[in-house]
Amino acid sequence: MNRTAVVTGAGSGIGRVIARSLIGHGWSVALVGRREEALSATAHERKGVLLLPADITDPTQVDDLFVRVHEAWGRLDLLVNNAGWSGPSGTPDEIDVEEWRRTVEVNLTGSFLCARAAFALMRAQDPQGGRIINNGSVSAHAPRPGSAAYTASKHAVTGLTRATALDGRPFKIACGQIDIGNAATEMTAGIATGVPQADGTVRAEPTFDARHAADAVRFMAELPLDANTQFLTLTATAMPFVGRG
């Protein structure tokens, strides 16, 4: 049976790497992101791909894109909730309230809206069920300095993962979370040159090839629905995460 997936934030970064990995291993993948040209670059004329430009914070656009997935393939096996925004940097008193709200809208509400629409498809389809994988980030465990908005939103994603996993049980819907630290992409290039540390210094941190994150997502995705990777943390071995601060 053809396996079908939706990957959000597929126009760049880890989302692009995950999407290409799934496509390369025989999945039909719907690429979701704000910019169609970026999604086209991810697809790079590969077969079995839908390009679905959308704003994941808009409920109508989200519902419409999942309707298009159903029309194209008749079912959905996997949602990778990857889209996110780094948010404002600063101490809490320096963070603009609108920037806080935007961060929560993209990272949490966007993930919820996509999970909500995917859950409805997976619940109604025959055979019933599917899998949702949320990208939490290691900031779902521990913050970097000046990251209150991003860190709070990613902690909330963990709550969404747990609740979705519980509510999905009667419908054969599995939900897990991958928390990634320092995967090397064009979006994280600054990590290798220097980022603020809890002791007030700025230091370069090690990174790892983002294809390993894609491999981990694919491992989670290809489990049978009676097994679930609830949480998986993948980091550069020597990054200052365990014992951060």
Question: What pLDDT sits at residue 193?
Answer: 85
Task: Supply the pLDDT for residue 187.
Answer: 73
What is the amino acid identity at position 137? S
Catalytic sites, residue numbers:
150
Amino acid 205: pLDDT:
86
CA distance linking residue 26 with residue 230, whole number of Å? 24
User: For the chain, what are the domain ranges?
Assistant: 4-235
- At residue 1, the pLDDT reads 65
The gap from C-alpha 189 to its chain's centroid, in whole angstroms, comes to 19
Helices (H) and strands (E) in the chain, counts: 7, 11
Q: Give the containing element (helix H, strand E) for 117.
A: helix 110-124
Give the pLDDT confidence score for residue 245 in this predicted structure.
52
Cβ(36)–Cβ(11) under 8 Å? no
What is the dotted CATH code of the domain comprising 4-235?
A: 3.40.50.720
> How much is the pLDDT for 174?
98
pLDDT string in tens for the chain (245-residue length): 689 999 999 999 999 999 999 999 999 999 999 999 999 999 998 888 999 999 999 999 999 999 999 999 999 999 999 999 999 999 999 999 999 999 999 999 999 999 999 999 999 999 999 999 999 999 999 889 999 999 999 999 999 999 999 999 999 999 999 999 988 888 777 888 888 888 889 998 888 999 999 999 999 999 999 999 999 999 999 888 876 55
Helix (H) or strand (E) holding 31: strand 28-33
Closest CA relative to residue 218, chosen from 11, 1, 24, 12: 24
Find the angle CA(24)-CA(7)-CA(69) to the nearest 5 degrees: 95
The answer to whether the CB of 23 falls within 8 A of the CB of 15 is no
Read off φ and ψ for residue 32, nearest 5 degrees.
-115, 135
- pLDDT for the residue 103: 97
* Residue of 120, 141, 138 whose CA lies nearest to 129: 120
Question: What is the Cα–Cα distance from 124 to 213, expressed in whole angstroms?
Answer: 30
